[in-house]
């Protein structure tokens, strides 16, 4: 990797100042160090943010729960109250990588991780995402790629937690220069929808501080499921997160998001809004699955994701009444 | 002549590995652990072009990087590279980072050439030529026996399909590599190898040094699967860098490199046609197959059998056959021998068609095999195995399993040689009673040291822990390469002969009529000061070759998501006299897990546009993880009268075929391509729905 300076920040202000526009924040390092080893990221300075105060706690609240950006995926997985309140988040955390990875992976890092597209990750391929001229995957090996996108790049979002947090309508708190931004998950990924070089909406120097999840009373239920080729330690071929306020089997409000099928956590608001007032059963689940995938644009090798995701959506929805 | 004991006390016991503690504590030193004084890191610059004319390589900037001590080109003068990842140059330096920096400033003058990386494209007329003077597709070799056309026309049932198997990568957990010191006194190479003497021969030849001045050491190594016989380009480069730098140099390939230039199993594309009479006798077989061994199309490579051909109609005898094979070159790294070269491909095509034909004839697939398999050992294994796994209760009409997640069961058989030979050993018995057995073999990970200790302990009536087994050094008496499942059958007779002779000599010298066991210390003491050193060698009659094995696989197929999970594999394997069931079963477990990877996950994926390997890591080159491993039930046929036979290769052959047959049984339609991915399962399921 390219040589770099290393500093440990003690305050958010100093972290921000040290990183400047050409630095990178180091938390778990799972993604960043891999990018650096392949010369895909060449920061001048690595700013270790693991010691920043207040970023490594999970705090319940009457309005919303707060999870610091440095909380590890394993902590989310193991947190009994969090898991009970937001099973969708717990399940999504459990399916991240391996336990070794979850032990060091941070919430912030999981949300900000870059594309896993094998063309993007290849050291000798300059693809569209790396400011090249071609998306090689479009006419190439696209079995792991998107069914929906607003731009020529077809690399999907692979953050499990983003899919679950989207379903939970979470807010993400970001420090940008002197400003504190409060984004939805949709905001966090919006730029990746239509800009092939972006994988999220963050700019150089932006620091994710924490995530806020609106409190849910007992009428809310949630589920997350993913399909992977291997039984463990494998990326999702497709994932689905659902959170719904229910009255028995009747849906009051529902959010359904899909992962690994688009550059953003994917949903169709008209479809999910239409679920309100209906009774959740196998028929509705099949209908919702069909409608969510109606606009899918499969490529030469990823059409299998349509029946797979259809089955997945139905199963995830039916978990709510299981 | 020595003989295996009728009532052994050590042989056949579940003996723990004598080097297990050293391995798990890190005390065992592998090639990458060896730290000779002043050892430098070495790294290789590889071609970024899938094909190019190389007209110049300038190393001067690399040599100016602080910490860099040497740099060499692989070959002087202009040359053509034929795949992405072919070796161009190498550097040695004080740190890995210095080497990485140096690689990035080497200037290469190259003119890119047209290339082709996919078999189907390479076959077409007008495709880029991998080699200038020969077509990509080799002239087919055709073998015909009897009258297949007539036999097919008279057959009661005929099945036909187009099946394929992928290029599989060896991916031993320890990558290829060597630590080499080349001084005026000679060359010492710590090699991760399956053949210390073949590395010695290769290095001596490449470096133009007498073989007597080359010592190769491989005390521990982390797997090879057929891809680690010679020194490799990396071994010779490490030696040349060492000479230039005046210091030892270590080059270990990276995981990325392993996907490019360290061997693979050739792909296969097989049109298979099989016919039988109404009473279930095979009458006609036809195969038209091609596959790629990378740039090394069709030819054998070191270790043997690296070509794209495979035996057909595999383990069956069919009176009328037509078999046609060709190799197709592509711009990718060469194949090398890979655990049972040719057999998994052969098994997959043939055993798939056996099942489809059995279904068409309305005969139970196990019964159909028993009717047609010429091997009495395998017929017995099928009978044992179907009882053991509950075949009769579990086998149902294909596709009749109800629900979204369907269950299925399938079987397949395999054959392998596995004989031994060409090994010498020596025993040194010391006056204090300690014993060292020396043999110039190497341990692929199969437990060779443990086997040596068991046999010596058996002869001397001691405990295996009292024996020091010294292997992996070309100063020891020679043994062959660890390929073809021959190590155990080569080493065991040589050690038995050596120890038997040593015991006789000890008894003669000391006048103690039975020096074994409780008399051991007393006898050894009588040796005085000098140890007793006795040589022996492999002798006939203590080992044999030719094994059969059958496997039964049980699967669950999720027809909603296409995901296949293997629930259980039952393996009935013939392997002669078992030295230790623990090491033997460990081979079986590994073979089945590898076969399962071949069935469901593994495939080298090349990109047509850029010519690179897209999955040069364990993230996207998927291997079975511990959560994927099924219950494995092993029955070793006890046939001590056959002597020692290797088991490493046969046990990986039928696994993928049995799994593929189980999937077909579950969903009622064949997935004819390995690996059986969710995409392929869903495509097959969609065909049923559409029909």
Percent of chain A residues past pLDDT 70, beyond the cut: 100
Q: What phi and psi, each to the nearest 5 degrees, are found at residue B251?
A: -120, 115
Strand partners, B291: B327
Residue of A nearest to B596 (CA): A230
Short-list A97, A85, A110, A233, CA closest to A161: A110
**Residue contact B625–A227, C-beta within 8 A:** no
What are the chain B neighbours of A237 within 8 Å (beta carbons)?
Answer: 678
A304 to B679: CB separation less than 8 angstroms, yes or no: yes
B264: nearest Cα among B535, B616, B584: B616
Distance CA A206, CA A187 (A): 14
Residue keyed to tokens 């155990």? B488
- State the smallest CA–CA distance between residue B617 and chain A in angstroms: 10
Across the interface, whether the CB atoms of B679 and A1 are under 8 A apart is answered no
Cross-chain Cβ contact A119/B607 below 8 Å:
yes
Give the pLDDT confidence score for residue B302 in this predicted structure: 42
Are the Cβ atoms of B626 and A232 closer than 8 angstroms? yes
Q: State the nearest Cα–Cα gap between B111 and chain A, in angstroms.
A: 17
pLDDT number for residue B691? 77
Instruction: Determine contact, residues A3/A20, Cβ cutoff 8 Å.
Output: no
A300: closest CA of chain B, how far (Å):
12
3-state secondary structure B59-103: CHHHHHCCCEEEEEECCCCCEEECCCCCEEEEEEECCHHHHHHHH
Contact B609 A139 (CB under 8 A): yes
Task: Report the residue of A36, A122, A132 to disrupt the B interface, i.e. the one with the largest count of B CBs within 10 Å.
Answer: A122
Residues in chain B: 691
Answer yes or no: do A118 and B615 touch at CB < 8 A: yes
Q: Which residues of chain B have pLDDT under 50?
A: 298-304
Residue A122 to residue B612, Cβ atoms within 8 A: yes
Helix (H, G, I), strand (E, B) or coil at B543: strand
Please report how the helices B196-207 and B232-245 are oriented relative to each other, as an axis angle in degrees rounded to 10: 50
Which residues of B, range 596-615, sit inside 8 Å of A by Cβ?
600-601, 605, 607-610, 612, 614-615
- Residue labelled with tokens 């043997």: B304
Burial string for B142-176 (b: 16+ CB within 10 Å, else e) reads: eeeeeebeebbeebebbbeeebbbbbbbbbbebbb
- Do A70 and A55 form a contact (C-beta atoms < 8 A)? yes
Q: Which residues of B touch A136 (CB under 8 A)?
A: 607, 609-610
User: Partners of B412 in the beta sheet?
Assistant: B551
Residue with tokens 């992976």: A105
The DSSP code sequence of A221-233 is: EEEEEEE-SSSSS
Q: Which residue of B has its CA nearest to A143?
A: B679
3-state class of B570 per DSSP?
strand
Tell me which chain B residue has its CA closest to the CA of residue A140.
B607
Which position has the token pair 């197709």?
B328
Query: Exposed/middle/buried for B432, CB within 10 Å: 0-12, 13-18, 19+?
Result: exposed
Query: Residue B628 contacts by C-beta under 8 Å, 6 or more apart in sequence?
Result: A230, A231, A232, B565, B566, B596, B600, B601
Give pLDDT tens digits for B385-398. 999 999 999 999 99
**What is the C-alpha separation between A118 and A141, in angstroms, rounded?**
9
User: Residue B35, SS3?
Assistant: coil
- Asked, as a colleague might, if the bond just before B313 is cis with ω within 30 of 0, I would say yes
Short-list B398, B112, B72, B378, CA closest to B249: B72
- Taking the whole predicted model, whether its pTM rises above 0.90 is answered as yes
Q: Is B562 on the interface with A (CB under 8 A)?
A: yes
Cα separation, B446 vs B501, whole angstroms: 26
Alpha-carbon gap, residue B591 to B575, rounded angstroms:
14
- Sequence-ordered list of residues with C-beta below 8 angstroms from that of B77, at least 6 positions apart, any chain: none
Does residue A295 sit in helix, strand or coil? coil
Adjacent-strand bridge partners of A257: A241
Query: Which chain A residue shows the shortest CA-CA distance from B630?
Result: A231
C-alpha distances in angstroms, B497 versus B428, B466, B515, B539, B580? 14, 19, 17, 7, 19
Tokens matching residue B109: 């003058």
Contacts of B563 in chain A (CB under 8 A): 227-229
Give me B580's structure tokens: 């230790």
Backbone dihedral angles phi then psi of residue B28, each to the nearest 5 degrees: -70, 130
Residue B561: closest C-alpha in chain A: A308
> Which residues of chain B have a CB within 8 Å of the CB of A304?
562, 678-679, 682-683
Residue listed under structure tokens 């190259």: B110
ipTM for this prediction: 0.97
CA-to-CA separations, B418 to B486, B547, B579, B593, in angstroms, rounded: 5, 7, 15, 20
CA–CA separation, B646 and B194 (whole Å)? 15
Closest-CA residue of B relative to A142 is B607
Residue with tokens 């016989």: B229
Structure tokens at B619: 């993230």
- Residue A136 near residue B632 (C-beta atoms within 8 A): no
Distances B398 to B183, B364, B676 between C-alpha atoms, Å: 66, 11, 17
Please, what sign has the CA dihedral across residues B290, B291, B296, B301?
negative
Whether the CB-CB separation of B537 and B566 falls below 8 Å is answered with no
Per residue of chain A (322 residues), give pLDDT as tens. 999 999 999 999 999 999 999 999 999 999 999 999 999 999 999 999 999 999 999 999 999 999 999 999 999 999 999 999 999 999 999 999 999 999 999 999 999 999 999 999 999 999 999 999 999 999 999 999 999 999 999 999 999 999 999 999 999 999 999 999 999 999 999 999 999 999 999 999 999 999 999 999 999 999 999 999 999 999 999 999 999 999 999 999 999 999 999 999 999 999 999 999 999 999 999 999 999 999 999 999 999 999 999 999 999 999 999 8
**Composition of chain B by helix, strand, coil, percent to 5:** 30, 25, 45
Q: Are B260 and B284 in contact (CB under 8 A)?
A: no
Buried/exposed code over B483-509 (b: 16+ C-beta within 10 A; e: otherwise): bbbbbbbbbbbbbbbbbbbbbebbbee
B120 touches chain A (CB under 8 A): no
Question: What's the CA gap between B625 and A232, in Å, rounded?
Answer: 7
Domains contained in chain B, CATH given: 20-30+420-537 (3.30.365.10), 40-113+170-261 (3.30.365.10), 118-164+266-374 (3.30.365.10), 375-411+544-691 (3.30.365.10)
Chain B neighbors of A141, CB-CB under 8 A: 605, 607, 614
Cβ–Cβ gap A311/B683 under 8 Å: no
pLDDT of A186-202, one tens digit each?
Answer: 999 999 999 999 999 99
pLDDT of residue B304: 47
Q: Set out the domains of chain A in order of their start, with CATH numbers.
A: 1-53 (3.30.43.10), 58-113+153-214 (3.30.465.10), 220-319 (3.30.390.50)
Pairing of strands B68-73, B87-93: antiparallel
- Min CA distance, A227 vs chain B (Å)? 7
Among A1, A33, A124, A300, most B C-beta atoms within 10 A, so best to mutate, is A124
What DSSP designation does B168 have? B
Task: List for chain A the helix, strand, coil content (%; round to 5).
Answer: 30, 20, 45
> How far, rounded to the nearest angstrom, does the alpha carbon of residue B164 sit from its chain's CA centroid?
20
The Cα A230–Cα B650 span in angstroms is 25
pLDDT for the residue numbered B300: 45
- Which DSSP helix (H) or strand (E) runs through B610? none
Based on its alpha-carbon atoms, the radius of gyration of chain A, rounded to whole angstroms, reads 19
């Amino acid at each position: 990797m390219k040589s770099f300076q290393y500093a440990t920040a003690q305050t958010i202000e100093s972290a921000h100042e040290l990183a400047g526009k050409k630095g990178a924040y180091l938390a778990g390092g799972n993604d960043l160090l891999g990018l650096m080893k392949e010369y895909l990221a060449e920061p001048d300075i690595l700013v270790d943010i693991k010691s920043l105060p207040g970023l490594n706690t999970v705090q319940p609240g009457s309005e919303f729960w707060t999870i610091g950006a440095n909380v590890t995926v394993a902590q989310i997985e193991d947190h009994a109250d969090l898991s009970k309140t937001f099973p969708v988040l717990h399940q999504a955390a459990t399916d991240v990588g391996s336990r070794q990875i979850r032990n060091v992976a941070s919430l912030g890092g999981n949300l900000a991780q870059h594309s896993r597209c094998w063309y993007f990750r290849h050291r000798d391929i300059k693809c569209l995402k790396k400011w090249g001229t071609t998306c090689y995957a479009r006419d190439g090996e696209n079995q792991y790629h998107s069914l929906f996108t607003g731009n020529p790049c077809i690399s999907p979002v692979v953050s499990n937690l983003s899919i679950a947090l989207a379903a939970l309508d979470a807010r993400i708190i970001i420090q940008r220069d002197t400003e504190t931004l409060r984004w939805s998950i949709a905001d966090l990924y919006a730029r990746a929808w239509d800009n092939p070089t972006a994988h999220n909406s963050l700019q150089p120097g932006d620091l994710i501080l924490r995530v806020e999840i609106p409190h849910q009373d007992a009428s809310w239920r949630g589920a997350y499921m993913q399909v992977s080729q291997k039984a463990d330690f494998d990326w999702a071929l497709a994932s689905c997160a659902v959170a719904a306020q229910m009255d028995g089997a009747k849906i009051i409000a529902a959010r359904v998001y899909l992962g690994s099928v688009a550059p953003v956590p994917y949903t169709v608001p008209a479809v999910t809004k239409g679920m309100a007032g209906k009774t959740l059963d196998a028929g509705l689940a099949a209908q919702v699955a069909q409608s969510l995938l109606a606009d899918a644009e499969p490529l030469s090798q990823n059409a299998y994701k349509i029946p797979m995701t259809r089955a997945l959506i139905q199963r995830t929805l039916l978990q709510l009444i299981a | 002549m020595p003989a295996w004991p009728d009532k052994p006390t050590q042989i056949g016991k579940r003996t723990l590995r004598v080097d297990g503690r050293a391995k798990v504590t890190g005390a065992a030193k592998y090639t990458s652990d060896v730290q000779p004084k002043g050892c430098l890191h070495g790294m290789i610059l590889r071609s970024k072009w899938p094909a190019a004319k190389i007209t110049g390589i300038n190393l001067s900037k690399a040599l100016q990087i602080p910490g860099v001590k040497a740099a060499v080109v692989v070959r002087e003068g202009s040359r053509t590279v034929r795949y992405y990842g072919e070796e161009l140059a190498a550097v040695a330096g004080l740190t890995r980072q210095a080497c990485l920096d140096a690689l990035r400033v080497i200037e290469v003058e190259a003119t890119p050439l047209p290339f082709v990386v996919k078999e189907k494209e390479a076959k077409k007329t007008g495709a880029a030529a991998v080699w200038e003077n020969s077509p990509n597709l080799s002239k087919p070799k055709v073998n015909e026996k009897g009258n297949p056309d007539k036999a097919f026309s008279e057959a009661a049932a005929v099945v036909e399909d187009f099946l394929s198997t992928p290029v599989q990568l060896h991916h031993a957990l320890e990558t290829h590599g060597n630590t080499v010191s080349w001084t005026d006194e000679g060359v010492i190479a710590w090699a991760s190898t399956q053949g210390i003497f073949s590395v010695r021969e290769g290095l001596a030849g490449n470096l133009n040094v007498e073989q007597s001045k080359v010592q190769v050491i491989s005390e521990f190594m982390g797997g090879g699967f057929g891809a680690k016989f010679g020194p490799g380009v990396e071994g010779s480069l490490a030696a040349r860098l060492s000479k230039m730098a005046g210091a030892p140099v270590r080059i270990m390939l990276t995981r990325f490199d392993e996907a490019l230039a360290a061997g693979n199993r050739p792909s296969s594309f097989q049109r298979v046609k099989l016919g039988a009479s109404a009473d279930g006798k095979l009458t006609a077989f036809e195969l038209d197959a091609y596959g790629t061994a990378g740039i090394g199309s069709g030819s054998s490579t070191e270790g043997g059998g690296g070509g794209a051909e495979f035996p057909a109609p595999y383990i069956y005898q069919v009176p009328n056959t037509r078999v046609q094979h060709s190799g197709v070159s592509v711009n990718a790294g060469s194949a090398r021998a890979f655990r049972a070269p040719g057999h998994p491909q052969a098994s997959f095509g043939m055993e798939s068609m056996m099942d489809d034909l059995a279904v068409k004839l309305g005969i139970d697939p196990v019964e159909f095999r028993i009717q047609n398999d010429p091997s009495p050992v395998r017929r017995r294994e099928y009978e044992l195995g179907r009882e053991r796994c509950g075949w009769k209760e579990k086998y149902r009409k294909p596709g009749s399993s109800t629900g979204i997640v369907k269950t299925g069961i399938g079987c397949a058989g395999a054959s392998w040689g596995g004989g031994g030979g060409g090994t010498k050993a020596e025993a040194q018995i010391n006056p204090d009673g300690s014993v060292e057995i020396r043999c110039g073999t190497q341990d692929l990970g199969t437990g060779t040291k443990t086997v040596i200790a068991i046999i010596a302990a058996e002869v001397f009536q001691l405990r295996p822990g009292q024996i020091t087994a010294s292997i992996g050094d070309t100063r020891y008496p020679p043994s062959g390469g660890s390929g073809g499942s021959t190590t155990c059958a080569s080493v065991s007779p040589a050690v038995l002969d050596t120890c038997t002779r040593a015991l006789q000599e000890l008894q003669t010298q000391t006048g103690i009529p039975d020096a074994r066991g409780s008399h051991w210390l007393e006898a050894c003491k009588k040796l005085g000061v000098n140890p007793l050193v006795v040589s022996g060698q492999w002798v006939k009659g203590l080992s044999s070759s030719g094994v059969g094995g059958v496997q039964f696989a049980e699967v669950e197929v999720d027809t909603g998501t296409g995901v296949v999970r293997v629930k259980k594999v039952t393996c009935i394997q013939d392997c002669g006299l078992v030295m230790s069931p623990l090491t033997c079963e460990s081979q079986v477990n590994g073979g089945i897990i590898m076969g399962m990877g071949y069935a469901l996950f593994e495939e080298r994926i090349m990109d047509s546009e850029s010519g690179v390997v897209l999955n040069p890591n364990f993230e996207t080159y998927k291997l079975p993880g511990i959560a994927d491993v099924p219950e494995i039930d092993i029955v070793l046929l006890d046939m001590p009268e056959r002597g020692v036979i290797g088991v490493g290769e046969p046990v990986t052959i039928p696994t993928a075929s049995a799994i593929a047959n189980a999937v077909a049984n579950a969903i009622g339609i064949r997935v004819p391509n390995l690996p059986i991915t969710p995409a392929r399962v869903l495509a097959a399921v969609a065909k049923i729905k559409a029909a």
